[in-house]
Amino acid sequence: MEIYDILRCNKCLVTHRDFRITHIDDEGNLYCARCAAYLNKVGGYDLNNFNAEEFIKTFEREGD
């Protein structure tokens, strides 16, 4: 299993390989761009930007 398959949207369960994971909430739940836009539109969610590419590079570097 690759890191792209581990990064998964908490709402729709899509992986980062299929659709970009772009946001994270205060509890550490990840969200894709589509679900993050919906949650921001509905309101009540405080989402922070999440750079999945940077996370993957760091994860792969520490794994070596």
Q: Whose structure tokens read 């729709």?
A: 12
Alpha carbon 4 to its chain's center:
10
pLDDT of residue 64 exceeding 70: no
Residue-wise pLDDT tens digits, 6-59: 899 999 999 999 999 999 999 999 999 999 999 999 987 889 999 999 998 887
Q: Is 8 helix (H, G, I), strand (E, B) or coil?
A: strand
3-class secondary structure, 46: coil
Burial of 7 (0-12, 13-18, 19+ CB in 10 A): buried
- Say how far apart CA 36 and CA 30 lie, in whole Å: 9
Q: Quote the pTM value.
A: 0.85
